Structure 1
């Protein structure tokens, strides 16, 4: 099944080939914290996450205990000196079976389940790179990748605002897709500078993304979604907002937000947020002109 993204107008074939099994057909009740069904059964978001990713069978891969069950800090300061050194580019040929395939980069990949699901369900069409600033999550994600025997996905511990350019500019194939899904909101105004979507990062994405490549930004916090939108909307010389994806059912509302999840599966944060009754704000961009 063809992944429901716009076909690139030129240069790189960035359209994905994945299942769209969750095309607006799976609606979570709008409620708080944990949901209670009509039969009185409580529904926890962790149970919904396991259900969503059941085909990965990751529960059987939770050993050893120090890798399988990690306790992490929810908020990290990316401006800390400990995150200021760019990471070295890996040996792409040693990581991927074919390092010339189009690359998808998930910025702030969290636990990695979302990207692993994509990689497992699209093993021959592209490579996947997850970038995460919390090292324990990266260690566990890489453990899962090794146990599943996947050679089209890799996770790295990195501060994207420091390391993104260094990493993607050395990748042998085209950068075809970038996702920034529910990043840390850093609510306090004085901490907004910690937010991941800053102009230098967007400039680097616009520079390295192949013509026809796409960017998906998403948040369950309206203010954060607007913030990301404003930064990308300002790059009209490079990006075009995708109002209608491949003439399919994935249209936008009157405010320009995608009405459905176009990825074929939800992120863990998405599942938690929808269970609590939150709205998910998504916006898609396509590179239509070369970066100047």
Structure 2
């Protein structure tokens, strides 16, 4: 499985990072200290999280598509959606993959609850030859905007779908021609009240479907800024220790704190929620598994 490696000088330009692939790692590589220090110096000059989001994703130039007539700028959406609503119980139609991706045989990454889509678009733009990228999101306005951005950027290796992942993942992924090599569930809706925990995206049925469809050596990345949600996700994936091993047990490049949470972001880019949470002083709890 191909991994991501950063190749940067001590003082890289603000929106151009040299990236390359290597077969020396089975996972996403950690960001080196010079790049972390450079980003920190930039972030210190921006005190509002929207500014930090724009900085993090500056090289996508998405602001170019915010102008009059685009109708895709800052959309108003409901923060939380009830996935058990009758409008979300039917699985989505499987697309014609050869119409969605220019090469549907490439390994697939699925981002469950992809939100605005910037995170996945960044990966698709910077690493076009390694994978196809599929974003599943339950808020349709965000999907429409993400697809508009994909079209404007001319990307042929990424697609967003309006879908309830708990229902549709098992329906979609087995129909994909290539292998499933990476699944990410990053800062999902917390649904704090105990009676609403059944609305959380990580349920046993989804975990079992991810494990079943993930290729050997494939990986799962989980993260949340809410400890209770992170623990819930961790416990459910830990329950499949028969086939899933935490990444620090397989790769010495990944280290954890005393509670078993990853100390570094393995993805090379932060999600919008991650940016907002860190600005507020919250800890981001991360786990990463590999199928063995």
The equivalent of 2:50 in structure 1 is 46
Q: RMSD over aligned Cα, in angstroms?
A: 2.4
Asked if 1:280 corresponds to 2:284, the answer is yes
8 Å contact kept, 2:28–2:266: no
The equivalent of 2:240 in structure 1 is 235
SS of alignment partner, residue 104 of structure 1: strand
Within the candidate set 123, 138, 143, 1:118 is matched to 123
Describe the superposition over 1:95-151 as per-residue Cα deviations: whole angstroms up to 9, x where unpaired.
111111000000000000000000000011110000000000000000000000000
The equivalent of 1:197 in structure 2 is 202
Within the candidate set 204, 222, 229, 1:224 is matched to 229
Pair 19,281 (structure 1): closer, same or farther in 2 beyond 3 Å: closer
The equivalent of 2:64 in structure 1 is 60
The equivalent of 2:16 in structure 1 is none
Asked if 1:74 corresponds to 2:79, the answer is yes
The equivalent of 2:12 in structure 1 is none
Describe the superposition over 1:171-220 as per-residue Cα deviations: whole angstroms up to 9, x where unpaired.
00000000000000000111010000000000000000001000000000
The equivalent of 1:9 in structure 2 is none
Q: Distance in 2 between matches of 1:261 and 1:166?
A: 30
Pair 109,282 (structure 1): closer, same or farther in 2 beyond 3 Å: same
Q: Distance in 1 between matches of 2:231 and 2:243?
A: 19
Q: Distance in 2 between matches of 1:272 and 1:252?
A: 23
If asked which structure has higher relative contact order (CA below 8 Å, sep 6+), I would say: 1
Q: Distance in 2 between matches of 1:265 and 1:115?
A: 10
SS of alignment partner, residue 175 of structure 2: coil
8 Å contact kept, 1:99–1:173: yes
Within the candidate set 253, 256, 269, 1:252 is matched to 256
Return the TM-score normalized by structure 1: 0.87
Pair 103,80 (structure 1): closer, same or farther in 2 beyond 3 Å: same
More helix by share: 2
Pair 2,237 (structure 1): closer, same or farther in 2 beyond 3 Å: closer
Return the TM-score normalized by structure 2: 0.87
The equivalent of 1:173 in structure 2 is 178
Q: Distance in 1 between matches of 2:27 and 2:96?
A: 25
Number of residues paired by the alignment? 270
Uncovered stretches (5+) of structure 1, i.e. residues with no partner: 5-12, 30-34
Q: Distance in 2 between matches of 1:240 and 1:172?
A: 26
